[in-house]
Amino acid sequence: MARQNKGTGPWLAFGVPIALGLAWVTQGTGVVENDLERNIYIPDELTMPLQVQAAYNDERIFFRYRWPAEQAHVYHDMLRYEDGEWIRHGSSMPGPNPDGTYEDRVAMLVDDGGVPDFGRYGGYITVGDQMRFFSDSASPAEVAEHPYLGQEKGKSDVRKYLPDTRTDRGDWRSVADADVLAAQREAGYFLDLWHWRAGRSNPIGVSDDQWVGEYRNSDAGSGPYTTNWDSESDRPRWMLDPEKTGQRALRWEDVTSGEVDFDGIYYLSEDNRTDFDPDHDWQNGDVIPRRLLRQPEGSRGSIAVQGQARWEDGYWDVTLVRDLDTGSPLDDKILADQGVYDIGIAVYRNATGSRWHYVSLPYTLGLGRQADLQATAFAGSAPDWDDEWFDMTLFYPGQVDWPLLVSRAHAGAPDIAEGTPVQARHSEKQLALYGVEMEFREAITSRWWMTLIAGLIAMLGTTLALLPSFRSIRQGDRS
């Protein structure tokens, strides 16, 4: 026994730190990877900065947004001519569009207190059950058969909706009755959605204007774009007017070059279009935008671009302007001096769309009153923007929906029931990491169990190996 005490036996204790050390240095690897079949794409950067300013005069309010982007993505939904066919590039897809044909965007949700949970939890409350592009997204066929969403509204996916527009918060199908939805809207239970698009609205100096209730709806009127496609003839309806632009189409190599000439022709609008000429000698690589830009009308045309929104030196700089009172209280949140409101902002960049955006936590906006983001009162037609930027950190939210957050599977559900704001418990970075892990929830949980048990097995084996060296020394052995 004395020989064992002095021998190598006790050093077998290193079995535990070696096993656990190996687990430590490799932890977090082997599960998280892109899986486009399951609508999973994890962005390289999980957070990004956004700078915001706000100002208002007697009639209008201005928001200025500035965020970094490696390049400007202004092309969206393009038709490329190839061997006699017009091929579509730029529809919604998981992750970045490989051709770069998906527009940059900034979207802002605004509330006036009509949706109290929005001020505490931001856009999370709009992420419902089986949303589009989630791994468990509702099938288009099922949505299309839904009596309200499918048959009445003609939708085939589940988009943002507010929790109380469903009788069962965990079931997207349980849309409340039409009279209840109408009453909710009258009572202010909806979110205003400012939606600037680098391709489908910015070239003509406007922003889209939408609202979120039982779905992500558009304001009344017509939007800043329509579809340039003749499905009967399988070809575009319009092309660039050669008399006005000197060309009939864009070129694919220009569209995918990553360069943008904001003063050149990179879009199709009512001002530069003409009827499509099927007899023209179209060449492979000719490109016609699948969206025709047009001046929005009605409530949907309430938001305009102030000046010129441009990408320059690695940053987008976008300023939007709207009347404080648009006269459309069922579509917009009416703002006023001395008001405090809630906002949440999302940015799309790197040619990604749908849920591959970066979102902010909710912040308060004050018009003459104390708030996170203080809108500066000014006289005149346009603000000077002399004040400091308000810095936000945006984060990739992953696949976390509201039904989950208020369920037993979320330890913070009781906090939500008590109204504890999200900022009190979570940072943006933390939420981003959690969002990614939720996309691999089952695989990570399973691997975690295995790691836990493997560590305990290593400990048990090491104990057995050490026991012979730790035998009690009987009388007489001590000499």
Binding positions for another protein, 440-459, rule CB under 8 A: 441, 444-445, 447-448, 450-452, 454-459
The residue (of 10 and 285) whose beta carbon lies closer to another protein is 10
Quick check: 12 binds another protein (CB under 8 A)?
A: yes
The residue (of 176 and 465) whose beta carbon lies closer to another protein is 465
| Locus of tokens 């203080």 | 374
Quick check: 419 binds another protein (CB under 8 A)?
A: no
Distance CA 320, CA 196 (A): 8
**Contact call for residues 31 and 443 (beta carbons, < 8 A):** yes
Shortest Å distance, C-beta 473 to another protein: 4
Rg for the chain, CA atoms, rounded: 28
Among 61, 116, 462, 479, binds another protein (CB under 8 A): 462
Chain-centroid distance, C-alpha 113: 23
Binding characters for another protein, 25-54, by CB under 8 A (x = yes):
xxxxxxx-----------------------
Distance CA 377, CA 175 (A): 41
Shortest Å distance, C-beta 401 to another protein: 13
Quick check: 69 binds another protein (CB under 8 A)?
A: no
Quick check: 144 binds another protein (CB under 8 A)?
A: no
The residue (of 329 and 461) whose beta carbon lies closer to another protein is 461
Quick check: 330 binds another protein (CB under 8 A)?
A: no
Quick check: 423 binds another protein (CB under 8 A)?
A: no
Tell me how many residues contact another protein (CB under 8 A).
72
For residue 408, what are the CA distances in angstroms to 172, 394, 413, 420?
A: 19, 27, 7, 17
Shortest Å distance, C-beta 478 to another protein: 8
The residue (of 36 and 470) whose beta carbon lies closer to another protein is 470
- Token pair of 187 as six digits: 């009572």
Residues 376-405 that bind another protein (CB under 8 A): 404
The residue (of 24 and 145) whose beta carbon lies closer to another protein is 24
